[in-house]
C-alpha cells in the first residue's frame, strides 16, 4: 500500500460520509425485526409476469440492438414517451428538456456536479432526503436548512434565509425541494406554497431543484402542478424516476430541465456512465406502450393506500396523546414527532431490543436537529406485521412517557 493513502484520496471522496441510514439498516437485518426503517417499494408491486413476456419478445424481435450503447441523453423513444407523459398533464416541454438518468439519484449527483463548487450554499428543507443532502455535500455544498410546516418548506423562513445570506454576500446555488409526499415527512406542498417559493426564486434569482420520486403514488386529494409547470421561466429543474412506479432495480430516472442546464448535464453524464443501460430503457419503452404501466401503478397505489390506512388506524389506537404524526396523501413515509425532550436515538436502541425498527429523524436534518423525530415507511411491511410493529413501538414510547 502507498504511504499516504488518506492524502491521496480526492477532496470529493473525503467529503463523502457513510450514510447514517445504511448504518441503521445494518442493525435491522435480523428477520425477526419488524422494520419500518427501509425505503423499499413493495416487491408485490413489481410487474414480474408482464416483464417476462416483454423481455423475451424484445430479444426475439430486436436482438442485439437492445444490448448496444445508446445516446447519453437516453433512448429517444423513451424520452419522447416521458415528454408526452408531462405534456398530457399540460406541462410545456419538448425533447430538449428531457434526459434519462440512472435513477434520480444520478440526477441529484449530476445537479451537484454541474452547479456546486466547494463551499457553495444549497438550501434544503428541515428535514430533507439524506441522499440529496449527501449528493450535494459530496461536491462541497454547505447545506442551509429552512424549517417546514404542514405545507412544506416555510416561504417566510425561506425568505428570511435568503435575506440573511444576501446580507453576507452569499448567493445560494439552488433550493432543493421534494414537493410531493416528501421523504422523510410525507408532506405535500399545495399550489399556493409552490407559487410563493417560485416567486422567491425569481426575486432572489435562485434555481429550484424539485425532486419528485413519489408524485404519481397519490391515494387522496388532488394532484398538484409541478413547480416546473407553474414556473415556465427556466428556474426549475425537475427530477423523476421509475423507482416507485415501476421497478427500482431498473435504475431509470430522468431530468426535466431548461435546455441550457440539460446541455451541461449531458456532458457531465458522459463522463459518469456514457449512457443509462439501453436494455432497461428499451424494456421501459415496451412496458409503457403495453398499457400494463397504468394498470400496475393503480395496483401499487391501492396497496400502499391500504397499508397507510392500516398504519394510521393502528397509530390512532395505540400512540400516546403527546405523539404527533403526519397523514400523507401518498408516497411511502410518515413522520413522527415525539415530545421535545424525548430522544429518538435512545428509543431506537430500545426498539431494536423489542424487534421493531425505524429511522431516527435527525439524519434528515442538515442542522443537527430533529432528535425527537422518526421516519416510518409504510410501503414494505404487510398489514399483520405493521399492526404488531406499531403496537410494539407505541408500548416503547408509552414506557418512555411514563418515566
Residues from 57 through 116 that contact ligand PMP (CB under 6 A): 103-105
Q: Which residues pair with 177 in a beta bridge?
A: 210
List 73, 109, 144, 211, residue binding ligand PMP (CB under 6 A): 211
Nearer to ligand PMP, 26 or 60 (CB): 26
Nearer to ligand PMP, 131 or 320 (CB): 131
Residue 129: CB minimum distance to ligand PMP, A:
4
Residue 243: CB minimum distance to ligand PMP, A:
3
Residue 213 sits in the site that holds ligand PMP (CB under 6 A): yes
Binding mask 36-55 for ligand PMP (x = CB under 6 A): ---x----------------
Q: Which residues of 310-334 are buried (b: 16+ CB within 10 A; e: fewer)?
A: bbbebbeebbeeebebbebbbbbbb
Nearer to ligand PMP, 262 or 377 (CB): 377
List 36, 86, 115, 129, residue binding ligand PMP (CB under 6 A): 129
Residue 105: CB minimum distance to ligand PMP, A:
3
Stretch that binds ligand PMP, among 12-20, 77-85, 125-133, 341-349 (CB under 6 A): 125-133
Give the cell for residue 15. Answer: 467529503
Nearer to ligand PMP, 255 or 390 (CB): 255
Nearer to ligand PMP, 42 or 59 (CB): 42
Residue 260: CB minimum distance to ligand PMP, A:
23
Q: List Cβ neighbours of 145 (8 Å cut-off, separation of 6 or more).
A: 123, 124, 125, 126, 127, 128, 365, 366, 367, 369
Q: Which residue is nearest to ligand PMP (CB)?
A: 103
Nearest to residue 196, comparing CAs of 253, 239, 156?
A: 156
Nearest to residue 356, comparing CAs of 397, 315, 319, 393?
A: 393
Output DSSP code: residue 6. H
Residue 178: CB minimum distance to ligand PMP, A:
5
Nearer to ligand PMP, 252 or 397 (CB): 252
Binding mask 220-259 for ligand PMP (x = CB under 6 A): ---------------------x-x----x----x------
C-alpha distance from residue 122 to each of 33, 144, 258, 369 (Å)? 37, 6, 19, 18
Coil, strand or helix at 393: helix
C-alpha distance from residue 359 to each of 134, 172, 214 (Å)? 17, 29, 19
Residue 137 sits in the site that holds ligand PMP (CB under 6 A): no
Report yes or no: 174 and 207 within 8 Å, Cβ to Cβ: yes
Across 151-275, where does the E strand assignment appear? 152-153, 174-177, 207-211, 236-241, 253-256
Residue 128: CB minimum distance to ligand PMP, A:
8
What are the helix (H) ranges across 117-258? Answer: 130-138, 155-167, 191-203, 227-231
Residue 387: CB minimum distance to ligand PMP, A:
25
Residue 367: CB minimum distance to ligand PMP, A:
19
List 110, 178, 217, 334, residue binding ligand PMP (CB under 6 A): 178
Contacts 24+ apart (CB under 8 A), 78-87: 78/252, 78/281, 78/282, 78/284, 78/285, 78/288, 79/254, 81/285, 81/288, 81/289, 82/240, 82/254, 82/256, 86/226, 86/229, 86/256
- Per rule CB under 6 A, count of chain residues that contact ligand PMP: 15
Residue numbers at the binding site for ligand PMP (CB under 6 A): 39, 103-105, 129, 131-132, 178, 183, 211, 213, 241, 243, 248, 253
Amino acid at each position: 500500500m502507498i504511504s499516504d493513502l488518506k492524502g491521496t484520496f480526492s477532496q470529493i471522496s473525503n467529503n463523502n460520509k457513510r450514510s447514517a441510514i445504511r448504518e441503521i439498516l445494518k442493525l435491522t437485518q435480523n428477520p425477526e425485526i419488524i422494520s419500518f426503517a427501509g425505503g423499499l417499494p413493495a416487491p408485490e408491486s413489481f410487474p414480474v409476469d408482464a416483464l417476462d413476456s416483454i423481455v423475451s419478445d424484445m430479444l426475439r424481435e430486436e436482438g442485439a440492438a437492445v444490448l448496444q450503447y445508446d445516446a447519453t441523453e437516453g433512448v429517444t423513444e423513451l424520452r419522447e414517451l416521458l415528454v408526452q407523459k408531462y405534456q398530457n398533464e399540460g406541462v410545456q416541454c419538448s425533447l430538449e428538456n428531457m434526459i434519462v438518468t440512472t435513477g434520480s439519484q444520478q440526477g441529484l449527483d449530476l445537479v451537484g456536479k454541474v452547479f456546486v463548487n466547494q463551499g457553495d450554499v444549497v438550501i434544503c428543507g428541515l428535514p430533507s432526503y439524506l441522499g440529496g443532502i449527501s449528493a450535494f455535500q459530496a461536491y462541497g455544498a454547505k447545506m442551509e436548512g429552512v424549517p417546514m410546516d404542514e405545507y412544506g418548506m416555510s416561504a417566510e423562513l425561506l425568505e428570511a434565509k435568503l435575506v440573511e445570506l444576501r446580507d453576507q454576500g452569499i448567493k445560494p446555488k439552488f433550493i432543493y425541494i421534494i414537493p410531493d409526499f416528501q421523504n422523510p415527512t410525507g408532506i405535500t406542498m399545495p399550489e399556493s406554497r409552490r407559487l410563493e417559493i417560485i416567486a422567491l426564486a425569481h426575486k432572489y434569482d435562485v434555481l429550484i431543484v424539485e425532486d419528485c420520486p413519489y408524485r404519481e403514488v397519490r391515494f387522496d386529494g388532488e394532484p398538484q402542478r409541478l413547480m416546473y409547470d407553474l414556473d415556465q421561466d427556466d428556474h426549475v429543474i425537475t427530477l423523476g424516476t421509475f423507482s416507485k412506479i415501476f421497478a427500482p432495480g431498473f435504475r431509470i430516472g430522468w431530468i426535466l430541465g431548461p435546455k441550457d442546464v440539460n446541455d451541461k448535464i449531458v456532458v457531465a453524464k458522459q463522463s459518469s456512465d456514457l449512457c443509462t443501460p439501453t436494455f432497461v430503457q428499451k424494456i421501459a419503452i415496451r412496458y409503457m406502450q403495453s398499457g400494463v404501466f397504468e394498470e400496475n401503478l393503480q395496483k401499487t397505489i391501492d396497496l400502499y393506500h391500504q397499508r397507510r390506512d392500516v398504519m394510521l388506524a393502528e397509530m390512532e389506537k395505540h400512540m400516546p396523546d403527546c405523539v404527533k404524526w403526519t397523514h400523507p396523501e401518498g408516497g411511502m413515509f410518515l413522520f413522527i414527532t415525539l415530545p421535545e425532550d424525548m430522544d429518538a436515538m435512545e428509543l431506537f436502541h430500545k426498539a431494536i431490543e423489542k424487534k421493531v425498527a425505524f429511522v431516527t429523524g435527525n439524519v434528515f436534518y442538515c442542522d443537527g436537529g430533529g432528535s425527537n423525530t422518526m421516519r416510518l415507511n409504510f410501503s414494505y411491511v404487510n398489514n399483520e406485521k405493521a399492526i404488531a410493529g406499531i403496537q410494539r413501538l407505541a408500548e416503547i414510547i408509552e414506557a418512555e412517557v411514563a418515566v
